[in-house]
Amino acid sequence: MADWSSGYVTDVTYIPGYYQELSPAIIRFCLLIQQLTPPPAEEFNYCELGFGQGLSLNLHAAASPGAFAGTDFNSEQAAFAARLAGAAGSDLAVCDDSFEDFSRRDLPQFDYIALHGIWSWINDANRRQIVEFANKRLKRGGAFYVSYNCYPGLAAIEPMRKLFMLHGRRLGEGVSSLERIQGALEFTERIFQAGPHYFHSSGNVGARFEALKNASPRYLAHEYFNANWDIMYFSDVAEMLAGARLNFAASAVPHESVKGLGMSDEAREYLNKVADPFLYQQLYDYFVNRAFRKDIYVRGALPLGEAAYRERMLAQRFILTREPAGIDMTLKVGMGTASFLEEIYRPAVAALAEDGHSPKGLEELRERLGGKLDYSQLLSVCINLMGVGVILPCQTPEAAERCRATARALNAAICRLAGTRDDLRCLASPVTGVGVAVSRMDQLVLDAASSGNEVAPYLLRTLQAGNIAIMKNGRNAENEAEAKHFLEEFLADFHQKRETILKSLGIA
C-alpha cells in the first residue's frame, strides 16, 4: 500500500464496471419522478470522483451533451480512461489526482457530482474532502450521487471482513494485495470449516463467503482489502452531507421510489404512516435489511409545479432495449419480489417494440394501448420496466444528435478492444445518454461491420487471432467449416434480433 493512498489498495488495478446510476440522464429521471427540478440536460458540468477504469465516465461523456471531468488517483486506471476519452473525442478532462489535490484545481461549478463505490472504502479525512468539495463545487440545484455499504444489511458481514484484516496484520508489510487475499481466504475457510457459531447464525455469511471465493481477485482487493470498509446508516450519511447543504432527494434506482413495491402488507401499512421522508428512508432499510444504497442528494431542490411536471413527463420518451420475447416480468425489490400483471405489461412491451423499437412518449404509448391506461399508470409501468432492466428513458432527439459522433467513436474503440479483452461489455447510446450492455461477440460483429470488410470472414479472422472460442449452445466448433457455420447462424440471429435495437439506441 502506498504512503499517498490513505490505506487504499494501489498495487492492483480495479475491474472496469458500468453503473448507469452515475449517468446524468438517470439522475435527472429519478429527480423528475419525485417532482423535483432536475439539473440541466444540456450544457452542464459533470464530475465523477474515483472513476476506477473510467468506463462509466467515458460512456456518459460520449453520450451526453455536457462537459465532463473526473479524477482517480490510480494513474494506470486514469491513463486507460484518458485513452478512451481521446479515442472518443468527447469533452472529458481526466485527472489522476487524489480528491484533495483535485479540489485545489481550477475547476468549474458542477451541475452533477457523482461517486460510486467510493464512500465506504476511504477514510474519514477523504470523506470530509468530498463533502467539502461538494460544498464548494456543486451549483445550487445541483445533484450529488453517492453509493455506500449500509446498515443493517451488512452488519452480519463485518466480522468476516475483520478476519481478512486480522490475517493481513499477521503478514505484516511488503506483501502484495493478491497474496493477502489468497492467505485471508484460506485462513477464513479453515476457521469456518471448524464450525464457529458466527458462520451458522449470522445472515448470509456462508453464501457470501462462497461467492467471494470465486470472485475476481482484482474485485476482492478493492472491495475488502482497503484499510477502510466503513458501513454506515442512511441517517449518518445524510447528516454528514447536510454539512454541504445537500438533502436526500431520490433513490438512483427509480423503482425503489415506488412506495410499497415488494413490501408485506404490514410493512406497507406501517411505512405509509411515516410522514418524515428522512425517517422513512432509514426505517425502509430496516424493513428490507438493506446492505447497499444508491442515493441522489440535491442542493436546494426546487419542487416542480403540477403543470411543469406534467409537461416534462409528457415530453419524456422511453426505449425498449431488449427483444420482447422472454422478458421476465418479476423484479426483486423491497422485502421480496414484485410480479407485474402480464395483461398490462406484455402489451406495453409490445407497443414499445413497434416501429423498430423507436422511442415513445406516454401519450403515444397511451394511444397504442387503446387508451386503457392513464399517464400515471403508464409512468408506473415504465418505471417498473426500468427496474426489470428492459427500458431506458431517452434524451431529446437534438441532444442525441449532438452526441452521435462521440458515441460512435468511443464505441468503435471499445469494439476494437473486444478483439483482445472481454471486460468492456457496454457501449454508449446517444439516444439515452446511458451505457447499454452489449456482449463481446456483438461488439466484434459491430467492429467487423465498421471495418469496411466482408463481415463473416473478418469476424472469423478476429476470433481466430484472439484465440476466442467459436461456440454454439456451449459447444466449441470442431473444425473451420463448423466454425463458419456457427458464425453464419450467429450473424443471422444478430441481424434478426439485436441489430434493430442497437440501431434504435444509436449504437449500430
Ligand X SMILES: C[S@@+](CC[C@H](N)C(=O)[O-])C[C@H]1O[C@@H](n2cnc3c(N)ncnc32)[C@H](O)[C@@H]1O
Residues that bind ligand X (CB under 6 A): 6, 8, 14, 17, 19, 50-52, 71-74, 77, 98-99, 116-118, 121-122, 126, 222
**127 vs 360 by CB, closer to ligand X:** 127
Q: Least distance from C-beta 96 to ligand X, angstroms?
A: 8
**21 vs 442 by CB, closer to ligand X:** 21
In angstroms, the CA 340 to CA 2 distance is: 50
**133 vs 340 by CB, closer to ligand X:** 133
Q: For the chain, what percentages of helix, strand and coil (3-state, to nearest 5) are there?
A: 50, 15, 35
Q: Least distance from C-beta 95 to ligand X, angstroms?
A: 9
Q: In DSSP terms, which residues pair with 427 in a beta bridge?
A: 436
64-67, Cβ contacts within 8 angstroms, sequence gap of 24 or more: 64/23, 64/24, 64/25, 64/395, 64/399, 64/403, 64/433, 65/41, 65/395, 65/399, 65/402, 65/403, 66/24, 66/40, 66/42, 66/91, 66/111, 67/91, 67/108
**158 vs 401 by CB, closer to ligand X:** 158
**84 vs 320 by CB, closer to ligand X:** 84
Q: Least distance from C-beta 465 to ligand X, angstroms?
A: 29
In angstroms, the CA 409 to CA 412 distance is: 5
Q: Which of these, 100, 56, 51, 60, lies nearest to 79 by C-alpha position?
A: 51
Position closest to ligand X via CB: 52
Q: Least distance from C-beta 343 to ligand X, angstroms?
A: 39
Q: Least distance from C-beta 189 to ligand X, angstroms?
A: 24
Q: Least distance from C-beta 160 to ligand X, angstroms?
A: 18
- The x, y and z cell numbers of residue 115, run together, are 461517486
- The x, y and z cell numbers of residue 276, run together, are 418524515
**29 vs 51 by CB, closer to ligand X:** 51
In angstroms, the CA 57 to CA 43 distance is: 17
**116 vs 408 by CB, closer to ligand X:** 116
C-beta separation of 442 from 498 below 8 A: yes
Residue 109, classed as helix, strand or coil, is coil
**99 vs 345 by CB, closer to ligand X:** 99
- The x, y and z cell numbers of residue 82, run together, are 484518458
Q: Least distance from C-beta 201 to ligand X, angstroms?
A: 29
Q: Least distance from C-beta 57 to ligand X, angstroms?
A: 8
Question: What is the DSSP pairing of strand 110-115 with strand 138-149?
Answer: parallel
Q: Where are the alpha helices (DSSP H) in 70-121?
A: 75-88, 99-103
Q: Least distance from C-beta 129 to ligand X, angstroms?
A: 7
Q: What is the residue-wise DSSP string for 55-69?
A: HHHHHHHHHSSEEEE
**8 vs 192 by CB, closer to ligand X:** 8
